[in-house]
Structure 1
Amino acid sequence: MAATEALLAGIDLGAGSLKVSIVRADGALVAEASRPVATESPQPGWSEQDPQDWWRACCQALRAVLAQAACPARAIAAISFSAGAHTQVLEDAQGRVIRPAILWNDQRSRAQTQALRAQADAQIFAIAANRANPTWTLPQMLWLRDAEPESFARVARLYLAKDWLRARFTGTWETDSIDALGTLMLDAASVRWSQTLCDLIGWRMATLPPIVASKAVVGHVGAAAARATGLAEGTPVVCGSSDTAAETFGAGMVHEGMGVVKLATAATVSVLSPQPRPDWALINYYHIVPGHWYVITATNSCASAHKWLRDTFFRRAGDDGSAVFDAMDRQAAAVAAGAEGLFFHPYLNGERSPHWDPLLRADFVGAGFNHGAGHFVRALYEGIAYSLRDCRDVLQARGLGFAVARLTGGGARSALWRQIVADMLDVQVELPTVADASFGAALLAGVGVGVFASEQDAAKLVTVAARTRPDPARVALYERGAPIYRDIQAALAPLNHRIHDFVAGR
C-alpha cells in the first residue's frame, strides 16, 4: 500500500466515552465510532472509572469503526492512543487492577494538596514546573497512602490511562514524557522520574514506567487483542499522549500565535510556547511538537455542565439526548445576549483557573420571572465562556495572548456557542473540519511509522470548516458583564466554603 493510501487509527479515552477514528494519510476522516464509559462518584467530589470498562468500550468501538470503514484490518498502518492526563491505573505484582482509576477531575485530595504545599510547595514547583493541585497524580497517591494504605502497599506498576489501555494490545509498559509530566513526579528539566518528588509521599520509583517519545513505536498488536478488536495481529502501535496534547496537535497548533479552546467535559485554553512558563496560575506540558511546550489554563466543567443541565431539567424518559441538546440550543438562540442579567458560574466540580479552589460551587444568579428555559441555557453557555475569558486573561497577562482560536470538543458543534466564545474572547474562532483527540492520535500514529515526515507535515493536513468573527456590540456587552461575573464569584466564594462545611457536618 502506498503511503498516501495508508489508514491510521486513533483511540481516545474521554471522560464519558471512548472514540476511535480512522483517518486517511491525506487527513480525510474515513470512519469514527464511540462507546460510552461510566463514571462513578461514590462520594461528593469523587470521580472514578473501572479500567475494564475502557477495554470493553475499546473492543466494541474498534469493531464498529472497522465495519463502518469497510476496510481490511491489514489496511490500518498503525494505531495510537490518547486519554485524560493524571488518570492512573494501579496494578499489583500479579497484574491485577487494585482499585478504580481516580480521574483527573477528582477533588478528594484537597487535604493532601494542602499538606504538600505546606511541606514543599516551592520545591515541587521548581522540579515539576507545576504546582500541586487535586488534579495531579502525586496528591492523589498521597490520598491513597492516607486512606487506603493496603492498596498503596500493593502497587507494583503505575500506568497512565492511555498506557494501560495500550498495554492490552502490546503487553508492554511505558509512558510518554507528556503524560509523565502530568503525574507531578517527573523532573521537568531532565525528563526523568524524580526521587525527590516520590520521596515526599513514600512512592517507590520501581512502580513508574520507562519514558519514551509520544511518537515511538512501542510494540505491535498481539494475537489476543487482534481477536478481541478485529485489528490485524502485528499492526504497529505508537505510544500516544494526553488528550489535550493530541487535540491541540490535531487542531493544527504547531506554531506560536494560535490558541486552542476546548469545549469538552472540561474546557481549556492552550497556547504554544518555545519554553515552559513556570507560574503558579498556569499548567505547563511538553508538546508533541519537539522543542515546544503548551501552556494551559482550564475550567473544570463545560460539556459536563451542559449535560447536567439537560439531564436535570430538560430531558424526559425516552427522549433522544442529541435532540434535546438541539432543542436547548434553539431556545438559547432566541434569547438576547446577556440572558437579561442571568449569570451562571460553572463550578459544579470545584474550579481550576484562575481560582484553584475545589470548594467553589456552581450557581445561577439574577433570576426573575422574566427568565424562561432558554435564558438558563444561554446563561450556561455564557457562564462557561466567561470562565474561559478568566482563563484567557491569565495567559494574556503573561504575554501569551492570541488573535485566532481553534475550537475543539463536542461543544464546538453549536454555532451559537462558537459565536458566544468569539464575542466573549474578542477573537476569530475557527472550527477545524476534524478536530478531536482521536484524530490527533491518528496523525501521531502516522508520524510514528513514517507516513508523515514530521509533526509539522502532519498538521498541514488540518483544514478549517467554519470561521466565526466577533460582533463588536456583543464584545462591548460582555466587556461590561465580565466584572459583574467576577464580583459574583468573589462574593460567593466564602459562602461556598461554608456550604462545604455545612454538608460535611462541621
Structure 2
Amino acid sequence: MVTADLLIGIDLGAGALKTSIVRIDGTLAGEASAPVATSAPHPGWSEQDPADWWRAMCETLPRALAQAGGDAARVAAVSFSAGAHTQVLEDAGGRVIRPAILWNDQRSGAETAFLREKADARILEIGANRANPTWTLPQMLWLARHEPQAFARVKRLYVAKDWLRARLTGTWETDFIDAVGTLMADVDTGGWSRDLCDMIGWPMETLPPIVPTTAVVGAVTAEAARATGLKEGTPVVCGTSDTAAETYGAGMIREGLGVVKLATAATVSALTRAPHPDFTVINYPHVVPDHWYVIAATNSCASAHKWLRDTFFRRDGEDGAAVFSAMDAAAAAVAPGSEGLFFHPYLNGERSPHWDPLLRADYVGMGFNHGPGHFVRALYEGIAYSLKDCMLALNAKGLSFTTARLTGGGAKSALWRQIVADVLNVEVELPAVAEASFGAALIAGVGVGIYPDARAAARAIDIVWRTAPDPARAALYARGHPIYADTQKALAPINHRIHDFVRGR
C-alpha cells in the first residue's frame, strides 16, 4: 500500500504560479513554476486572465510530481494561496465575465475617495481596514460605475485562490482571511457584512460560504485528475492569501518575530492577538487561531528590480537570472549609501504609510560618479528604506520585533538581505523554503491531520541563514533614512502635478 507522505502547495503570484511538493518533515521534494501574464490596457490598470492560471497549474503539477518521484498516490492533500483582493466574477452559466482585477490595480482611486468621504470610519470599524484601490470593495464599485452590464451579470464572486481550487473540486467557498481581504466581511461576526455590501449595491448571494483556512472542502475530480496528473479523490484544503501563507510558512507563530517579504510587492508583518484598526496599516486574521497579523506594505519591490533589469541592463536573448547575478555583483562593489544616490520605489503608487496612488518613482542625487552598480544598490537601499517606513508604521501601533524572517524572490540576494538587516536594524533569518507555496503545503497537512495543529506544522521550518545588523552600516542608514523620507515629502506635490500633466489637466 502506497503511503501518502507528500503535501502540495500551489501559489498564484503576480508574475508566476508555483507548485511545491513538500515532505512531511518540511523538506522540498519537487517544485515547478510557470509564468502568468499581466495586462495593463490603461495606465494604472493591472489585469489577468484566470484561464492563464489554470494553464500554469496544469503545466507545473506534472513537472513537480515528476521531481518528487511521479507517484500521485503519495499526495496526502493539496492546498492553495494567491494574492488577496483579486477576484474572479462568473455569470449564471459559470463563465468568467471579465479579466481579474489584481491587488496592485490603481483604477479605483475615485471610488476609494467616494467611500472614504461616505463612510471612512464605518468601513474601518466593520472591516478593520481602510478603503484603498487595493481592496475588492472599491474595485467592485468601479465595476458598477464603469461596466454596469458586467456588474449585473455576476452570480458568483471567487477570490483568486478559490477559483483555482474550484477547478479541482467544483466547490465554492473561501476562508475568513481572504474574506477580510475583500473589505466586504465583518471582523466581529466572522461573516459577510450587509452594511459594506450595501455601500456599493453588491448582492450578498454572490459571495461564497466562509470556511476555516484548514478545512477540507472537497476532492480532486476525475476531470481535474486527467488535466493535472493528480490522483482522483485526493483531499483538497481551502488555503488562504499569499501573505498569510508566507508569514505562516516562515514560522511567524510568536510575537517578537516578524516577517519581511521581498516579492512583487514588499511587506512587513507582525503578529498580534487582535486587529489594530487604523488608517495606516492592514489587518488580517492569521493561520494560527485567535491571532492576527498586521501589515504595512510597499507596492514595488521585486517588480522594481525586474523593471530596472529589463529596462537598463538586459539585452535581447540574455538569460534573466544571469543578468540579475551580474547586477547584484555590481551593487556589492558599491559602498553603503550608494555615494548619495537615493531611490524611491513608487513605480505603481504607494501603500504604507503614504496611501497615495499618485506617487512616482525616482532616483535623486545623481552625479558623474555614479555607475550602473550604484543604481542597483540604491534600488536595494530605497526599497529597504520604504520597508523602514512600513516598520515605523507598525511601531506606532505598539508592534515591534527583534528578528525578521525573509520571504520572496528578493531574499535570494545575500546583499539585499544584509541591507534589509542594516536598514531595519534587526536580525534577519532565511528559512530553507521561503515561499507561499510552502506555507500552503503545511496548511494542507494541518487540514488532513498530518500535523495536529498549525503550530506543530510550523516546527518543520528550517532556518538556513541568519545575520545581525552591522553597527556602522546601521548608523549610516539611520542618517540616510530621514533624507529619503524628506525627499519623498518634498516630491509628493510635484508627483501629483506630474499626474495631472500626463492626464492633460
Work out the CA distance in 2 between the residues paired with 1:176 and 1:124: 20
The 5-angstrom pairing of residues 169-184 of structure 1 reads 169-184=168-183
Is 1:141 aligned with 2:128? no
Q: Write the distance in 2 (CA, Å) between the matches of 1:114 and 1:2.
A: 57
Whole-angstrom distance in 2 between the partners of 1:361 and 1:495: 9
Matched residue, 2:214:
215
What code does the residue aligned with 2:42 have? Q
- Aligned positions of 1:348-387 closer than 5 A: 348-387=347-386
Structure 1 CA distance for aligned equivalents of residues 310 and 341 of structure 2: 20
Q: C-alpha separation between the residues in 1 aligned to 2:285 and 2:466?
A: 28
Matches within 5 A, 1:447-466: 447-466=446-465
Counterpart of 2:326?
327
For residues 465-501 of structure 1, give each alpha carbon's deviation from its aligned partner in whole angstroms, at most 9, with x where no partner exists: 0001100010010011011001110011001101111
Which residue in the other structure is 2:410 paired with? 411
- The answer as to whether partners of 2:299 and 2:351 remain within 8 angstroms in 1 is yes
**How far 1:372 sits from its partner (Å)?**
0.2
The Cα shift of 1:279 comes to 1.1
3-state SS of the aligned residue for 1:200?
A: helix
Letter in 2 for 1:325: F
Q: Which residue of structure 2 lines up, in the alignment, with residue 402 of structure 1?
A: 401
Residues 246-275 of structure 1: per-residue CA shift (max 9 Å, x gap): 001100011111000000000000011011
CA drift of 1:123 comes to: 0.8
Q: 1:46 corresponds to which residue?
A: 45
* Residues 230-241 of structure 1 mapped to structure 2, 5 A cutoff: 230-241=229-240
Question: How do 1:104-503 residues align onto structure 2 when only pairs under 5 Å count?
Answer: 104-503=103-502
**Offset at residue 71 of structure 1 (A):** 3.1
Task: Measure how far apart 1:2 and its partner are.
Answer: 8.8
Distance 2:376 2:186 in 1: 43
Instruction: Single out whichever of 370-379 and 391-400 deviates more from structure 2.
Output: 391-400
Counterpart code for 1:331: A
What is the aligned-residue RMSD (CA, Å)?
Answer: 0.8
> How far apart in 2 are the matches of 1:179 and 1:31?
27
Code of the residue aligned with 1:127 in structure 2: it is I
Contact persistence 2:2–2:74 (CA under 8 A): no
State the one-letter code of the partner of 2:8.
A
- Runs of 4+ in structure 1 off by over 3 angstroms are none
Normalising by structure 1, report the TM-score: 0.99
Question: How far, CA to CA, are the matches of 1:466 and 1:406 in structure 2?
Answer: 10
Take 1:187 and 1:457, find their aligned partners in 2: how far apart are those partners?
29
- Code of the residue aligned with 1:327 in structure 2: it is A
Displacement of 1:463 in angstroms is 1.0
Match of 1:94 in 2: 93
* Whole-angstrom CA distance in 1 between matches of 2:265 and 2:409: 11
Residues 112-156 of structure 1: per-residue CA shift (max 9 Å, x gap): 000000011111111001000000000000000111000000000
Letter in 2 for 1:48: E
Look up the equivalent residue of 2:65 and give its one-letter code. Answer: L
What is the CA–CA distance in structure 2 between the aligned matches of 1:149 and 1:129, rounded to whole Å?
Answer: 28
Between the aligned partners of 1:345 and 1:412, the Cα distance in structure 2 is: 19
Residues 62 and 229 of structure 2 are in contact (CA less than 8 Å); yes or no, is this contact kept in structure 1?
yes
Shift of 1:435: 1.6
1:335-357 CA distance string (max 9 Å, x none)? 00000000000000000000000
Name the stretch that deviates more: 346-355 or 272-281. Answer: 272-281
- d(CA) in 2 for partners of 1:486, 1:288: 34
Aligned mates of 1:83, 1:153 — CA distance in 2: 26
Cα deviation 1:145-194 (Å, max 9, x = unaligned): 11100000000000000000000000000000000000000011001111
1:45: how far off?
A: 0.8
- 2:224 is paired with a residue whose SS is helix
AA at the equivalent of 2:20: S
Aligned amino acid, residue 82 of structure 1 = S
The amino acid that maps onto 1:43 is H
Matched residue of 1:44: which SS? coil
User: Are residue 66 (structure 1) and residue 65 (structure 2) matched?
Assistant: yes
Distance 1:373 1:315 in 2: 12
3-state secondary structure, aligned to 2:200: coil
The percent of aligned pairs where both chains have the same amino acid is 73
Q: Which amino acid aligns with 1:44?
A: P
Q: Residues 2-22 of structure 1: CA distance to partner in whole angstroms, max 9, x if unpaired?
A: 98x610000000000000000
Separation (CA, whole Å) in 1 of partners of 2:40 and 2:2: 48
| Residue segments in structure 1 that go unaligned for 5+ positions in a row | none
Question: CA 1:414/1:121 → structure 2, altered by over 3 Å: closer, same or farther?
Answer: same
Q: Which residue identity is paired with 1:505? A: G
1:105 corresponds to which letter in structure 2?
N
Work out whether residues 21 and 64 of structure 2, in 8 Å CA contact, stay in contact via their aligned partners in 1: yes
- Alpha-carbon shift at residue 397 of structure 1 (Å): 2.0
Gaps in structure 2 of 5+ consecutive residues: none
**CA–CA distance in structure 2, aligned partners of residues 188 and 105 of structure 1:** 23
Instruction: For 2:361, give the aligned amino acid.
Output: A
1:24 paired with 2:26, answer: no
Shift in Å, 1:323: 0.2
Q: Deviation at 1:399?
A: 1.3
In 2, Cα distance between the equivalents of 1:431 and 1:48? Answer: 32
Contact 2:427 2:467 in 1 (8 A): yes
After superposition, what is the alpha-carbon deviation per residue over 1:265-303, rounded to whole angstroms, capped at 9, x for unaligned?
Answer: 000000110111111111000000000001000000000
* Equivalent position amino acid for 2:105 in 1: D
- 1:224 maps to amino acid: E
Tell me which amino acid in the other structure corresponds to 1:244.
T
Report if aligned partners of 2:2, 2:73 keep a CA contact under 8 Å in 1.
no
**Deviation of 1:54 (Å):** 0.1
